Structure 1
Amino acid sequence: MRRIFVPIVIFLIASSVIFAAVGGVSADISQKNAKIFINNQTFSTKVNRVVVFRDRALVERTAKVSIPSGESKIVLKYLPQQIDKNSVRVAVSGGAKASLGGVEVFLDKFTPEAIQSLKDSIQAIDDRLNELKIEEEGIATQKDFLKSIASLGGAETKGQQLVISPQNLTATAKFLESQLQKLAKEKTRIAVEKRELQRKKKELQEHLNNISRGGASRGYRVEVPIRNSSAADFNVSVKYVVYGAGWQPQYDARYDEKSGRVELTYFGVVKQSTTEDWDNSEIVLSTAQPQLGTEPPELTKWLLRKYVLTYKKSRAIGGGELLGLAEDKIMPAAAPQNIEAEYSTSTAEISGETVIFNVSSRRTIPSDGQDHRVVIADLNFDAEKKFVAVPKLDQKVYITAKCKNTSDYLLLPGKVSVFQGNAYVGTQYFREPLGFEREFTFAMGSVQTIKISRKRTKEFLENTGIIGQNRREFFAYEIEIENNSMSDAVVEIYDQIPVSGDEDIRVEDVKFQPSPDRRDKNFDGEVVWKISIGKGQKKKIMMQFAVKYPKDVVVQGL
């Protein structure tokens, strides 16, 4: 008698030996960051604080260094190519008494060795990924083998027959369970390692791409002499302006029907592609225009020219071309992107026309050119809601929310994503700064609980005059509004009657029931009703008019 499951042990032992042979390779890879060199010592730096302006950023890098007594030179390497070299400032604090000399800034070029080092690191990752692939294939083979054994259960051979005993079945089941659990753990370990390697490879590849196309083929080196009375530890601060960064205000406005309030989340959307990450850094958002140069500005020629209108061509439906003034384009609203925001409100400072927002906790903003939202403030405003309908054009009732800025924050111009509850309504804009007590209105979209309809109830034509030289057309309309909400409402309903643009065309016999609350003087023909309607109620508005004109005239607009 022989046991079927004995070869399993041999197979698994052999496989584990193979895996151990290929699993020892690791890739410890890191990107170069700005570093300080003093004599033969190297010190890492970190981005401690960033003041983000609209089109650039003021970066402060810091490091703790040890400096011997006497004269030395602080050398900071690998600063981004996009820095303004005239903006570099260096300061030291702590330790012994020290004095700094003049700051010098040099443009360095990456060596071919640096490029090759990146390529070698990427290749090492690829090699390890291939090894992990072999491990995965081995695990799959083992699982298939175990499944084939499982199909035999705990069978033993006895002569030419397979005999299954409870003891063998139990032992086989326990063994298979144990081995499958080990394989599952191995598979999870491989998946985690592959994910981390792929992340590192992506970072290195992006860095290599920047170097290859020249975007980061150069970088700045800062040198400053220092003299101190005795060896000591110092805190070094290096500040510089870098381009390729900026921020803009953005808002989410949510109207809560139950509370009648608008919750306005005030964001700063930061984007940067400076080639260096701001990792766990203090972030400050500013509307100021930085002036870090040491020389006064120079006037340029004030040139006057004739203003000439420029035209643009746009293709109409059907293939024709339209001519129009080259005005700003109005684009349809798109649903807001799902950008992850880091929540922690900020403090605001206003100095003259400059607004500064200090984000309260540290943030990480990678150099990826993507939008990263930080929360400036969560604000709440009482809202005066109003229902508005224009049933001639759209048989829906819309709601607007009128608010007043009662906060301590200046609301800067920016895009507002509007929500009614959790439903996205559309995009609006603050076109100008909104200070304290300034009013603003959100269009919150249509409501489902108040229905409105408009239909024509009468239309006929008759000939008038002594010999029927004139025609008279009669029109009558009925507007019906129904309140299915749980509360009373006041709805402003806009409609219109035609206005004659010719002395031979007359609009007469105009009647309303009820009478409109307003007939707009600036827009002749527009009428407005303010209809108070209780919950569950229906109300109707009737309007009619007649148009009289010569029978040989075709009236445009009817």
Structure 2
Amino acid sequence: MKKVVFLLICIQFSIAIKAQNNREKIIKSEVKSAVVFLENAQVNREKTVFLSKGENTLKFTNLSPFIDSKSIQIKAKDIEIQAINFQKDYLKQIKKNPELQKLKTQLSLIENNINSKNVDLEIVKEEVVFLKSNKTIGGNQTLTATTFKEAANYYGSKIKALKTTEFKLKNAIKTLNLEASKIEKQISDFTSNKNFGSGEITIRLKSELAKNTKFILSYNVDNVGWYPTYDVRVKNINAPLELVYKANLYQNSKVDWTNVKLSFSSGNPTKSNKVKEVIPYFIDYGTNPPNYKNNINQVTGVVSGSGEPLPGATITIKGTTIGTTTDFDGKFSLEIPDTNSTLLINYLGFKSKEMAINSNYINVNLEEDYNQLDEIVVVGYGTSRKGSRKNDRKIGTTLSGAVAGLSIRGASSIKKEKARTKVSTINTKQVVNQTTVNFEVVKPYSIKTSNKNFSLTMKVFNITSNYQYYSFPRAEQSAFLVAKITDWEKFNLLEAEANIYFEDTFVGTTLIDTRVAKKELEISLGVDKNVAIARNKEKDFTTRQFIGNKKEEARVWNYTVKNNKNEAINIVVLDQIPISMSETIKIELNTDVTKGVLNTETGEIKWKINLPSKEVKNFKLKYAVKHPKNYVINLD
């Protein structure tokens, strides 16, 4: 009997030990590093956990609710992964930003103050109404001059005091409303009040030994990304071009990043990797060929949702790295390349939206995305022994340096900045992989989750450039300065907007589009007002002659180029002559008068001019058109 009781006790103890060994452990970890892609980020966490022999269940808590469950990876030695589960805990609110709570408290105090002053204002208004309704002197008393004067003085002083108080109260309310409006805009810059829940990853595993094990947890998270922009600064046409390479980071994963090792990658895991196929191009009578030309160079607009403007919304050109964010009023402005025609608009808590670019001004209204509140559950990857999973999806392995690449710490042509144009940069290391480029931030960086857009200067290049002026006065009588960079590939530039500063003056924005660059990368630096261009028709030589059944029309254009700068310039002036589409129409260029070079296929005339400082160059274009006299030809 004693043996049986002892055996039962041992069995119960064994069951209790096994249950204790398999008890769920809550794991709190920190983000150690993050690779920020163009539209999301790969987050890496590390934690050393004591594992009991046998089965263990680990729950990593306080994670982002926007984890892509397909991207979850677990790395650990000598363990067997049995199952992985991702879900959201809506009972545990994500910790609110203390700065946001402070702003809400300030707003509440201001609103209470406004309400109090509105009450005071109503009382003053009632007193004014009461005073006005009782200003008539009545009763049995005899009205004398003294009595009338005393009543008038009393009424006057009282009404003046009330009106003064009313004026002060209205001004105070106006000031408080302005202050409240500013705080509301700051609050709107933070995360909305919607409860997105807290992400949790539960791992069931088996360990052959009781031991401490280091876990590396990585996953991709949405509502994080970056896009490049540039500052292009040129002091004068004899100085090198300064190119400031910036990363514009948005981090709204609902989890703060503290002292995280950052890197920015040109990769985009959300983009399809399928090779595009040729679609048949059918042609018939009345059909039109594809139109690849986009005449819209810039688009502006407002992004709103639920009737309110959305600050911090991200707008990108679909399929490119060209992007921007909305300001406090939801407004945006973006340069548009010729080869793309779709806007992609994203904002946390709202459905993403694509809009075709068919106008220079586009207003966008986003719909709330209630599906973001749905729980996502993923059941494991299957069994993997000793930290090796053959079937796991290793998104971004080519981005993490698995393929041998070249580390670049700088180049001999990159010089130190001068003090007058010193730009604060974060220390980065540029790593070139087989298909992507990573900019690794050397020192850890802290980024709080919010709707704010953080602009980080990653690199500053001083580049020796060739400067060339261009003018097409037929379209616009201005001289455009273009910088030509011959070895642009080594800088690993992405297509993006660029702010242009010429001669210490902001002259506007342009696009740096490396996709269409060939031998040279051309960057337009805008119009130089110190180079004057004029094109005028010479009326004395605008003639019509009739010879038999033929008619001849001649045109002469005069050009003037004046260099008002303190240095010589090289300028290319372009114009054109008509191209005949009929054998009965003949075009003759007078080469004795026109000294430019003719392109017979396009009709383009090109003059290359070296113009010293303060000099003026005059030249002409003369051509004639011969055609049957009973046909009308429209010449400019």
- The alignment status of 1:221 with 2:202, answered yes or no, reads yes
Within a 5 Å distance, the mapping from 1:73-152 to structure 2 comes to 73-85=57-69, 87-90=71-74, 100-102=79-81, 104-111=83-90, 113-114=91-92, 130=108
Q: Which residue is 1:491 aligned to?
A: 571
| Alpha-carbon separation, structure 2, partners of 1:54 and 1:198 | 27
- Taking the TM superposition and a 5 Å limit, the aligned residue runs for 1:460-499 are 460-465=542-547, 469-499=549-579
TM normalised by structure 2 equals: 0.55
The size of the alignment, in residue pairs, is 431
Alpha-carbon displacement from aligned partner over 1:87-146 (angstroms, at most 9, x marks no partner): 434457xxxxx96452632243535x447999xxx99997896567657999999xxxxx
Amino acid at match of 2:221: V
1:47-62 mapped onto 2 (5 Å cutoff): 47-62=31-46
1:538 aligns with 2:511: no
1:161 maps to which residue?
none
- The aligned residue for residue 307 of structure 1 is 280
Give 1:429-444 correspondences, 5 Å limit: 429-432=512-515, 439-444=520-525
Q: Which amino acid aligns with 1:79?
A: L
Query: Whole-Å Cα distance in 1 between the matches of residues 486 and 188 of structure 2?
Result: 51
Larger mean CA deviation between 42-51 and 244-253 belongs to 244-253
CA contact (8 A) 1:265 1:379 kept: yes
Q: Which residue of 1 aligns with 2:290?
A: 325
Tell me the distance in 1 between the aligned counterparts of 2:105 and 2:563.
69
Deviation of 1:368 (Å) = 4.6
**Residues 200 and 219 of structure 1: is their aligned pair in 2 closer, same or farther, counting only changes over 3 Å?**
farther
Deviation at 1:347, TM superposition (A): 0.7
Residue of structure 2 in register with 1:449 after alignment: 530
The answer for the alignment partner of 2:479 in structure 1 is: 397
CA–CA separation in structure 1 for the residues paired with 2:89 and 2:61: 11
Q: Give the whole-Å Cα distance in 1 for the aligned partners of 2:292 and 2:235.
A: 37
Question: What's 2:506 paired with?
Answer: 423
Q: Distance in 1 between matches of 2:281 and 2:554?
A: 50
Measured after TM superposition, the shift of residue 401 of structure 1 is 0.9
In the other structure, the counterpart of 1:206 is 193
Q: How much has 1:555 moved relative to structure 2?
A: 1.4
Q: Percent identity?
A: 18
For residues 189-204 of structure 1, what are the structure 2 equivalents within 5 Å? none
Q: Structure 2 CA distance, aligned partners of 1:338 and 1:346?
A: 24
Cα separation, partners in 2 of 1:371 and 1:503, compared to 1, 3 Å: same
Q: Would you say the 8 A contact 1:463–1:469 is kept in 2?
A: no
Contact kept in structure 2, 1:397 and 1:452, CA below 8 Å: yes
Contact 1:411 1:433 in 2 (8 A): no
Change (3 A) 1:534 1:304: closer
Give the letter for the 2:298 counterpart. Answer: A
Q: Could you say which residue in structure 1 is the equivalent of 2:19? A: none
| Counterpart in the other structure of 2:429 | 347
Q: Which amino acid letter does the alignment assign opposite residue 497 of structure 1?
A: I
Cα 1:310–1:385 shift into 2, 3 Å: same
Amino acid at match of 1:451: A
Q: Indicate the residue corresponding to 2:628 in structure 1.
A: 550
Identify if the C-alpha distance between structure 1 residues 392 and 53 changes in structure 2 by more than 3 Å, giving closer, same or farther.
Answer: closer
Normalising by structure 1, report the TM-score: 0.62
- Supply the AA of the counterpart residue of 1:395: Q
Selected match of 1:283 from 246, 259, 262: 262
Q: Does 1:501 align with 2:581?
A: yes
Task: Measure the CA separation in 2 of the matches of 1:344 and 1:446.
Answer: 32
After TM superposition, give the deviation of residue 540 of structure 1 in Å: 1.0
Cα 1:339–1:304 shift into 2, 3 Å: closer
Please give the per-residue CA displacement for 1:159-199, whole angstroms capped at 9, x wherever unaligned: xxxxxxxxxxxxxxxxxxxxxxxxxxxxxxxx99x97x997
Q: How far apart in 2 are the matches of 1:309 and 1:514?
A: 44
Deviation of 1:51 (Å) = 1.5
- Contact kept, 8 Å, 2:499 with 2:506, in 1: the verdict is no
Q: Please tell me whether residue 386 in structure 1 is matched to residue 468 in structure 2.
A: yes
More divergent stretch after superposition (438-447 vs 325-334): 325-334
Residue ranges of structure 2 left out of the alignment (5+ in a row) = 1-21, 120-178, 301-322, 328-422
> 1:288–1:426: structure 2 CA closer, same or farther, 3 Å change rule?
closer
Measure the CA separation in 1 of the matches of 2:247 and 2:37: 11
Cα displacement (A) at 1:483:
1.3
Change beyond 3 A, Cα 1:117–1:404: closer
* Structural RMSD (CA): 5.0
Contact 2:24 2:58 in 1 (8 A): no
Q: Gaps spanning 5+ residues in structure 1: where? A: 1-37, 93-97, 142-190, 292-298, 312-321
- Closer, same or farther: CA 124–337 of 1 in aligned 2, 3 Å: closer
Rounded Cα–Cα distance in structure 1 between residues aligned with 2:185 and 2:506: 37
Query: 2:60, 2:200 within 8 Å by CA — same for their partners in 1?
Result: no
Q: Aligned equivalents of 2:629 and 2:283: distance in 1?
A: 45
Question: 1:308, 1:282 → 2: CA distance?
Answer: 49
- One-letter amino acid of the counterpart of residue 566, structure 2: M
Aligned pair 1:45/2:32, yes or no? no
